[in-house]
Amino acid sequence: MANLKEVRIRIASVQSTQQITKAMKMVSAAKLKRATNAIIQLRPYATKLKDILGNLSASLEGSSSPYTQEREPNKVLIVVVSSNRGLAGAFNMNVIKAANNLIAEKYSEQFKNGNVSIVSIGKKSQDFYEKRNYKVIGNNNDVYTALTFENVTKITDAIMAGFKKGDFDKVEIIYNRFKNAAVQFVTTEQLLPLPKTEVTATTSSSNTDYILEPSKEEIVEQLIPKSIKIQLYKALLDSHASEHGARMTSMDKATENAGDLLKALKLAYNQARQAAITTELSEIVSGAAALNG
């Protein structure tokens, strides 16, 4: 059994770690509230924009927008959304694993030919793919310092320009979709070309006579880039909220584990102290008996 000094040092170390994890949990809880409000406020707007675009597109013969043109996916771009910091459980690795599985299962031929590129948003995925010599484009880790629509639009504009120019035939995005603090879903969505909206009964029956200015075609052409930008912005807000939820849950569990470890160490300390006292008493009694003898 470890001596009393060693146990006391370990108890102090675990207590210090517990204070740090508790503080990180409280910080993440505060940030989670703001991040959750942001994604909750954006979702209705993104959904309504998608519905409007779907309703208008359903009544048109087709779209001349370069962002809806289907091409053979010879060159693929994968947008991997992670975080800049760790200590969030499996948050980052779940996204990276999903991206690797997508490449292996769907784009293995393109990968062999060197036609799979990565746009990483977050230092953790950036480091992962750069160390393994993937074709990583740009560095977008600073976007989390000010996660605004304007800053995210700069990333989207670069992606859209590459697709329009023919650098990529298909763009997919992988991120953690936020449900609550304890649950996040790894989600894969096609960013470009813009997926066709399925014509449902509700869509086809919405034949309200709207007065549109400018023409319906021009409105659709303006809404398509807007919808793409909103889709990426929503993915980043989802991932940002998921990160704080995962970190809060992870730090809460770490704090509980530190508490359990402290109980075990204090029990060991008390047992070692009791054994030391018993030994001292035995030595005193033996010494007294020897003197009397």
pLDDT in the model for residue 203? 47
What confidence score (pLDDT) does residue 86 get?
86
pLDDT in tens, the chain (293 residues): 457 888 888 899 999 999 999 999 999 888 888 899 999 999 888 888 887 777 776 666 666 678 888 889 999 999 999 999 888 888 999 999 999 999 999 999 999 999 999 999 999 999 999 999 999 998 888 998 889 999 999 999 999 999 989 899 999 999 999 988 888 899 999 988 887 766 554 444 445 555 667 777 777 788 888 989 999 999 999 999 999 999 999 899 999 999 999 999 888 888 888 887 888 888 787 777 777 86
Identify the pLDDT of residue 67: 83
Closest CA to 181 of 96, 243, 90, 95: 243
**Helix (H/G/I), strand (E/B), else coil: 219:** helix
Tokens at 249, concatenated: 């849950």
pLDDT, residue 174, reads 96
Measure the CA–CA gap between 75 and 163, rounded to whole angstroms: 10
Report pLDDT for 158. 92
- The per-residue pLDDT for 1 is 47
Task: Give the containing element (helix H, strand E) for 187.
Answer: strand 183-192
Looking at 132-215, list the stretches that DSSP marks H as alpha helix, in order from N- to C-terminal side. Answer: 149-165, 201-205
Report CA torsion sign: 258, 262, 265, 267: negative
Structural domains for the chain:
22-197+215-250 (3.40.1380.10)
Check residue 205 and give its pLDDT: 44
pTM of the shown model:
0.83
pLDDT at 211: 66
Dihedral sign, CA of 20, 88, 181, 30?
positive
CA dihedral 81, 169, 229, 194 (to 10 degrees): -110
